Chain A
Amino acid sequence: MIDVAGSLRRAWQQLIAHIDFPLLLITLAIMAVGLATVNSATIDSSHRMMSQAGNMGLAMVIMWFVSRLPPQKLMSFAIPLYVLGVVLLIAVFLFGIKVNGARRWLPLGFTRIQPSEIMKIAMPLMLAWYFQKYEATLKMKHYLVAALLLFVPFALIAKQPDLGTALLVGSAGFYVIFFAGLPWKIIVGMIAAAAAAAPLLWGMMHDYQQKRILTLIDPTTDPLGTGYHIIQSIIAIGSGGAIGKGYLNGTQTHLEFIPEKHTDFIFAVYSEEWGLLGNATLVFLYTLLIGRGMIIASGAPTLFSRLLAGAITLGFFTYAFINMGMVSGILPVVGVPLPFMSYGGTALVILFLGIGILMSIHTHRMLVKK
């Protein structure tokens, strides 16, 4: 008699062999919150919850595939992906279409893509590969080359202009360089140089440029433009109070005062309905996510996997911090979605690529050691 149960179990085990359950559970928890919030944000109009659930399903399938790829395989993607990304960014610079004053999209006939998204993964992948390659002979010049590899895509994205994505791509690259051992002296020196250069740069700027930066820092100076959005979002958060107005009861949300409420400003919707208690819970979940990522990075066997895991993990932090910071008014408004919460397929796919990579690194560590 064939052991049906046994073969089924083996098949199942084969299926989940490269899944890291702590990571999966944490992301599932955040996504459950996100799904409920997308529902609240779109219940009056576009009803996006099911569509977002579909996005999540698709992204998790991609995660599953990536998690099965061994890190060596991932390394082989580094150069092609990076080169492809840079070429597409140059193409965008040359042929891209303008949407809302920014040239971010590349038309492909049947569809259009946003190549800067690819860079969110390609950048840390490339730099981690680069440091792995020169691990034995790491010298100062390698940091310079890494900086150059970082700078080219960063500049191309910032030029679009897409400050938010440029920041995310740039920070992802910087984390790799940082974990690779960029000397503290240089880090401190760079910070000092930036601080010193700021007033000089400020003095060289035109009035309208200064004004633009001022509105970025303090939106209340432009209460009818960008400021209106951030003011409404802060009102939503503040009026949520300690325990929130209750699910589906946010007045700022349901009376349409919050802009972009199912995408970049979804945190305001969540915060209005769930209050400080909800916010603390969400921040706690992100802390767990980052903690798990750091444990994975810490246990990673090779420099490549270590750097990549560390950079991806800090990337999640950056997304979450910048988004919550901007929605609550302590950071300037740049277009950064809240990870696993904001509506949008592309962002989810990129995030789950990261999760998949983390799982791959974690579940292949023993094999490498052997």
Chain B
Amino acid sequence: MGNFHNPEADLDRFRFRLGFAAVFVLFAFCLLLGRFFWLQVIQHDFYQTRAEDNRIALIPIVPNRGVITDRNGVVLAHNYSAFTLEITPSRAGDLEETITALSEVIDIQAKDRKRFKRLMDEAKNFESIPIRTRLSDAEVAMFAAQRYRFPGVEVKARLFRQYPLNNVASHAIGYIGRITDRDLKWIEEAEKQANYKGTDHIGKNGLEQHYEFELHGETGYEEVEIDAGGRALRSLKRIPPVSGNNLSLTLDAKLQEITELAFGDRKGSLVAIEPSTGGILALVSNPTYDPNLFVDGITPDNWKELNDHPSKPMINRAINGAYPPGSTFKPFMALAALEMGKRTPGQAISDPGYFNFGNHQFRDDKKGGHGMVDMYKSIVHSCDTYYYILANDMGIDNIAKFMGSFGFGQRTGIDLGKDDLSESKGVLPSQEWKRQRFKKPEQQKWYAGETISIGIGQGYNAYTPIQLAQATATLANNGVMFRPHLVRHIVDTKTGEKRLVEPKPIRDLQLKAQNIEVIRRALVGVNKEGTGARAFAGAPYEAAGKTGTAQVYSLKGAQYKEGAIKKELRDHALFIAYAPADKPTIALAVLVENGGFGAQSAAPIARMVMDYYLLGKLPAGAAKDDPAAIEEEHEE
């Protein structure tokens, strides 16, 4: 370049620049090769994984939930296959349009749409999502005829939980429902997230919840190849799911059903236990509900009805209802007195019909008193004065210590609900309890006068029917205590192995045999010549029992007249019993809310249960109200 032109120099310069360009080209290509080396050799594993992740989707296969059967193999909870109408969003095109068009063929309600929307948010778009469940055969046929109109919509068979006995044992079995945020947290805490991929139901209550991780099973997987649009192209591998373990219960479904029928429309609870194992034979909380309502998501109307019903059917009274035990507490008080040396069986008191403490008079039910009362008579005729004095002699902390060892005021650890907190503790009153229960210093102090009514199962006393049944079973089993439980064994579906639940006693109270014998004789006396005699008239076996009446409403000195007060304020009727008295195979506690006298409403239920369990039949002429017999029963 310049003012003069030199072709040779120009050519040289051109060639030099060409050479420069060539070097630049080589440099740039080396840069590219370096990049390729980095990606394809050094980072290869990383990108290999990314490509595999792109390509492969794991579709969970939900396992069959374990089956629950009673002690005789009667099915209480199982799964049945039903047709669902499902949409695979990635293949269906416009979802709104599809659903609207579908609703012209098959009934699709607002709640179905709502559920679909919710499931959609949770699912991946290559999974199919149910828009309608439980199609009838007619509906399946109707859809099949129009199927060509709906790409990405298909009828699938899915498993649904079903409780074939409907209301029977609903509080024991519980139910499953859709997984909520709270359930998710539970799953996370148990570190089971992986196993719950694809699962949308979980135990909400009762056994279904307690044994959730046994019943659930192991989720299987199908590895499918998917394209960039999320469409599944082909199956690469299938790991089948393992069905959940089955539960075989100690419960007797027939006994349970008969007991529930015996309650009729009365509110209350019954817990029957096999004393030698702690296995629960019947666990009733009345009224019941139909767990099938919950499986597919309960409708708001049904939920409202169950929740707002005055008799509170959703509450499991057997483990969550705390009631004063009334006179059913007396045999345990008597045993405490014997064990602690506070009384001998023959030691008698004179009962004037009341007990004065300070300036307060504690009255007996029987006007004028029972006269001379020893331990046997105190139980058979349910003498209050005997126990006022006894309680005063023993003192609250001694009572609490002894009753605590029988499980009163403590969670039994029954296998219901998510954890121990699903069960109520009740109240075992003591000085310590009162200190912790109340805030104001003047309320925290225990007054000796408060001990008196504790002796007859009133006052602060409040126990759950399961605690009362456990204590009765422990008494029947000579002080050897078992944790009450509903599951006899878990059948492992993988190995077929039967895992027994709780075969060992949790505690031996080391009670003296002669003391237990004193109580046993008195309890047998109750059913022969005392407050339970009418209910157990003609029983071909010897049954030990004790009636009880728990005050709901303090009458402040007025005479209790059943007809005169509202039903909700009537006393609760209780009855505890075990039979055969010499070698008990069943022990139970019955509570009838607002049932009045225990002998009248609670004892006949116990008789029915025992007859059925021991004899396989119901009592002939089940005891009817007979005014002549009532006088004796009023003595509780």
Contact = CB atoms under 8 A, between A and B. Distances in A.
Interface of A: 135-138, 175, 178-179, 181, 183, 232, 234-242, 251-252, 255-257, 271, 275-276, 279-280, 283, 286-287, 290-291, 294, 297-298, 303, 306, 310, 314, 317, 321, 324-325, 328-330
Contacts, number: 128
B51 A298 contact: no
B33 A251 contact: no
Interface stretch (B40-48, B195-203, B204-212): B40-48
Contacts of A275: 40
A179 B17 contact: yes
Interface stretch (B18-26, B213-221, B568-576): B18-26
A280 B26 contact: no
Contact of A235 (B21, B22, B50): B50
Nearest to A239: B51
B1 A238 contact: no
A317 B52 CA distance: 34
Contact of B47 (A239, A291, A314): A239
A297 B18 contact: yes
Given A238-B48, A328-B32, A303 B15 contact: no
24 contacts: A138-B5, A179-B21, A181-B14, A181-B17, A235-B47, A237-B39, A238-B40, A238-B46, A241-B41, A252-B54, A255-B54, A255-B55, A255-B225, A276-B36, A276-B37, A283-B32, A283-B33, A287-B25, A287-B29, A290-B22, A317-B25, A321-B29, A328-B35, A330-B31
Interface stretch (B226-234, B287-295, B316-324): B226-234
B622 interface: no
A239 B15 CA distance: 42
A238 B35 contact: no
A286 B37 contact: no
Nearest to A236: B51
B38 to A, nearest CB: 9
Contacts of A135: 5, 10
A304 B489 CA distance: 97
A276 B37 CA distance: 7
A181 B233 CA distance: 59
B10 A303 contact: yes
A321 B32 contact: yes
B37 A255 contact: no
Given A234-B39, A240-B40, A276-B41, A255 B227 contact: yes
A284 to B, nearest CB: 9
Nearest to B13: A181
Contact of A179 (B14, B46, B226, B227): B14
B40 A256 contact: no
Mostly, the B contact residues are helix
Given A235-B54, A324-B32, A330-B32, 15 more contacts: A179-B14, A179-B18, A181-B17, A232-B54, A276-B40, A279-B33, A279-B40, A286-B29, A298-B15, A306-B14, A314-B21, A317-B28, A321-B29, A325-B35, A328-B35
Contacts of A234: 39, 47
B47 A283 contact: no
Contacts of A310: 14, 17-18, 21
A237 B54 contact: no
Given A242-B44, A317-B28, A330-B35, A294 B51 contact: no
A298 B55 CA distance: 50
B228 A325 contact: no
A303 B22 CA distance: 19
B28 A321 contact: yes
Given A283-B32, A286-B29, A256 B227 contact: yes
Contacts of A324: 32
A310 B229 CA distance: 45
Nearest to A275: B40
Contacts of A276: 36-37, 40-41
A321 B33 CA distance: 11
A257 B228 contact: yes
Contacts of A314: 21, 25
Contacts of A183: 1
Contacts of B233: 255
A181 B10 contact: yes
A238 B228 contact: no
Contacts of A291: 22
Contacts of B22: 290-291, 294
A181 to B, nearest CB: 5
Given A135-B5, A321-B29, A251 B44 contact: no
A240 B55 CA distance: 14
B54 A251 contact: yes
Contacts of A241: 40-41, 44, 48
A237 B36 contact: yes
Contacts of B28: 317, 321
Contacts of A255: 54-55, 225-228, 233
B288 to A, nearest CB: 53
Contact of B51 (A137, A252, A287): A252
Given A240-B40, A255-B226, A294 B47 contact: no
A306 to B, nearest CB: 6
B18 to A, nearest CB: 6
A306 B40 CA distance: 39
